[in-house]
Amino acid sequence: MQRRTVVLGLCGLAFARPALASGGGDKKDEKKKDDKKPGQLPIPGKGQRYVRLPTIVLELWDRDGNFRMSSVDLLLLVHEDAKLAEKQLSEKMKRQLNATPYEEYMASNPAPMIKATMLDLARKEPGGDKIIDLLINKMIFR
């Protein structure tokens, strides 16, 4: 009697497996509908484009004299006809961020501070009136 129960249970699982598999297929269909990955940038609107700035490597010293390093990758969302000197802008940003004390830099989340100060600096440059937004692509603390 017990053997029959086990065999019938296994047969039931074998027949139920395709039904369970078809239920899991709905999740795959939902993923196909939403092709955007979590870290993927939004597609720029008509007449806009992204400008990647060279990586900014920060060399910061704390109060105790310890060396700290951070690197930041920035993207600018600009109008299509904007002309910027990316290298010069990146160097100015690097100089301004390196002048920031480490304690102030790491006092809280440095991302909003970097975004606000760098966007303000970029808009003061020639062609900066065409800058729509500044995005932080990557931040690494070492």
- Residue indicated by tokens 């065999």: 7
What pLDDT does 63 receive? 86
Entry pTM: 0.66
SS (H, E, C) 24-75: HHHHHHHHHHCCCCCCCCCCCCCCEEEEECCCEEEEEECCCCCEEEEEEEEE
Tell me how far apart the alpha carbons of residues 99 and 121 are, in angstroms, rounded to a whole number.
14
What pLDDT does 39 receive? 66
> What are the pLDDT digits (tens) for 79-106?
998 888 889 999 999 999 888 888 888 8
What pLDDT does 118 receive? 92
- Average confidence (pLDDT) over 106-123: 89
**Confidence band, pLDDT 50/70/90 cuts, at residue 24:** low
Mean pLDDT for the chain?
80
What pLDDT does 1 receive? 54
What pLDDT does 107 receive? 82
